[in-house]
Amino acid sequence: MTFTAKLAAVSSRHDSLLCVGLDPDIAKFPAALQGKSDAIFLFCKAIIDATAGFACAFKPQIAYFAAIAAEEQLQAVCDYLRQTYPHLPIVLDAKRGDIGATAEQYAREAFERYGADAVTVNPYMGFDSVAPYLEWSDRGAIVLCRTSNPGGSDLQFLQVDGQPLYQHVARLVAEKWNRNGQCGLVVGATFPQELAAVRNIIGDMPLLVPGIGAQGGDIEATVQAGQSATGAGMMINSSRAILYAGTVGEEDFAQAAARVALETRDAINRFRTRVVA
Q: Is 95 a catalytic residue?
A: yes
**CB-based contact 81:117 (threshold 8 Å):** no
From the list 207, 252, 212, the residue with the least C-alpha distance to 56 is: 207
SS3 state at 134 = helix
Q: Where are the alpha helices (DSSP H) in the chain?
A: 3-13, 39-51, 62-66, 71-84, 100-108, 131-134, 153-156, 165-172, 192-202, 219-226, 240-243, 253-270
SS3 state at 240 = helix
From the list 145, 187, 142, the residue with the least C-alpha distance to 166 is: 145
* Active-site choice (6, 45, 95, 176): 95
> How far is Cα 87 from Cα 5, in angstroms, rounded to an integer?
10
Q: Which residues are catalytic?
A: 95
